[in-house]
Structure 1
Amino acid sequence: MIRVEREGAVCVVSIDRPARRNALRPADLDALAAAVREASAPVVLLRGEGTAFCAGADLDVVSGLDRDGARDLAARGQRVVRAFEAADAVIVAGVDGAARGGGVEIALGCDLRVATPDASFAEPGVSLGLFGAWGGTARLARVCGESDAMDLALSGRRVDAETALRMGLVSRIVDDPRAVADEIAAHPPDALAALKRRMRDRDDVPTQEAREVEAFADLVAAHAEDIAASRRED
């Protein structure tokens, strides 16, 4: 269900359940979190097989849950996105086809979201009397702004790649998300990891700035020869 393939500096993690539009069951969520935690490459490309990126939680599972089971499913999904945020690797969501509900939330946990022209996004949970519980209410407004986040969540409407780009839900529309992963992976892994940690820092600004100073100093020391060579070339 969750396939992992190391291809050079990029680890490709595929949700491989196309007959169910890559809908996720509890065990799949655990496997997805483990795949990212254990990725040995500096960049991870997350993708879905078939015509969907990810349809979110498997509704066959959801329909049979009691209150405790619902809590557990929500907690497992939240652990996935937290694992994405905590990983040293840069996680790129390559959205090709439908991202629905939890699929949008999984993408929100990634460091970068890129879409193909065939991508579409929706948070349809409200039509079932639900909402996104894999961190969607915490992250969607942070990424898109409150107005667009409210619109998506309250209407349940589907938006195409161009609209998602306007909202800031994705940063680019590309034919091949792998090209973006390769572009990022061409840079030094320690710089990528440091950039991710600093961008993900939610502490107060003075604390962030102090950490930024130290991280910058570490990188200058580590890459002194490359910096000097670049200066000579200029």
Structure 2
Amino acid sequence: MYQTITSDLTNNILTLTINRPDKMNALNKQVFNDLEAVLNEIENNPEIKAAIITGSGPKAFVAGADISEFGGLDGEQGKALAKRGQDIFFRIENNRKPIVAAVNGFALGGGCELAMACHFRIASENAKFGQPEVNLGLIPGYGGTQRLTQLIGKGRALELLLTGNMIDAATAHQYGLVNHVVPQEQLLEKTTGILQTILTKAPIAVAQCIRAANAAYAPENQGYEMELTAFGDSFNTEDMKEGTAAFLEKRKAVFTGK
């Protein structure tokens, strides 16, 4: 049914697995198309009462965006690319049904942003989180500058955004980025167990809890627009072209500040 996602509906919980293991489950246009279709299904199918998003294989949840799709884009095209991602992630965040990330490995760049768009996150012990876009002469464009700051605070967020460093699952738990850390073989069991508890509660009340909690950050929505503009502007820089080329060529980038 989907090209890049496998899905399983058991006991009213839909488990979605991003399935591009050869690309570390990187987000490309087709993944976004499939996510959009899955969200339509979640919203319209009364049999689905909650969802889990995870990645295929033992290494990666989603290791980032597919950088090969960034080549040759100008500022406006870059902004449009980010807007597509933001719009889909808003649909996850604002979904009236609980959507939880089961982070089974690397959650970097767009993968970290996808996990943060979910209502909360459970991580396996080998999970790693980061926003390494600065290494490409870029910034996060799918909401990462906003949600990371909301979830772990400005100081910690800026350190991760500005260094591009990764943190492990234990640090992510300490920071409040994830709710629980479990051995990988227990990840889906733990996540499912929490959702099964939620599904015993009143569905309208659950939906209103999600809506009310999201409203706490409503004044920050202008930050997403600022992120879009800044992300698009990055595509007009020589540093972005150098950073993405270096990534694809597997060499160290040489930035000039232009």
Change (3 A) 1:92 1:140: same
Larger Rg: 1
Q: Name stretches of at least 5 consecutive residues in structure 1 with no aligned partner.
A: 205-234
Is 1:29 aligned to 2:29, yes or no? no
CA distance in 1, matches of 2:40, 2:51: 10
Instruction: Summarize the alignment of residues 121-132 of structure 1 with structure 2, pairs less than 5 Å apart.
Output: 121-132=129-140
Aligned-residue identity in percent: 34
Partner of 2:194: 183
Scaled by the length of structure 1, the TM-score of the pair is 0.82
Q: CA deviation at 1:195?
A: 2.0
Q: Name stretches of at least 5 consecutive residues in structure 2 with no aligned partner.
A: 219-258
Partner AA of 1:192 in structure 2: V
**Aligned pairs, how many?**
204
Scaled by the length of structure 2, the TM-score of the pair is 0.74
Is 1:74 aligned to 2:82, yes or no? yes
RMSD over aligned Cα, in angstroms?
1.7
Partner of 1:38: 41
CA distance in 2, matches of 1:58, 1:82: 20
CA distance in 2, matches of 1:37, 1:150: 34
Instruction: Summarize the alignment of residues 1-234 of structure 1 with structure 2, pairs less than 5 Å apart.
Output: 1-39=4-42, 40=45, 41-50=48-57, 51-175=59-183, 176-178=186-188, 179-186=190-197, 187-188=200-201, 189-202=203-216
Change (3 A) 1:145 1:100: same
CA distance in 1, matches of 2:63, 2:74: 21
Q: CA deviation at 1:202?
A: 3.2
Structure number with higher relative contact order (C-alpha < 8 Å, ≥ 6 residues apart): 2
162-171 or 63-72, which moves further after superposition?
Answer: 63-72
Q: CA deviation at 1:64?
A: 3.5
CA distance in 1, matches of 2:217, 2:139: 28
CA distance in 2, matches of 1:143, 1:56: 19
Paired residues of 2:134 and 2:161 also in contact (CA < 8 A) = yes
Paired residues of 2:131 and 2:144 also in contact (CA < 8 A) = no
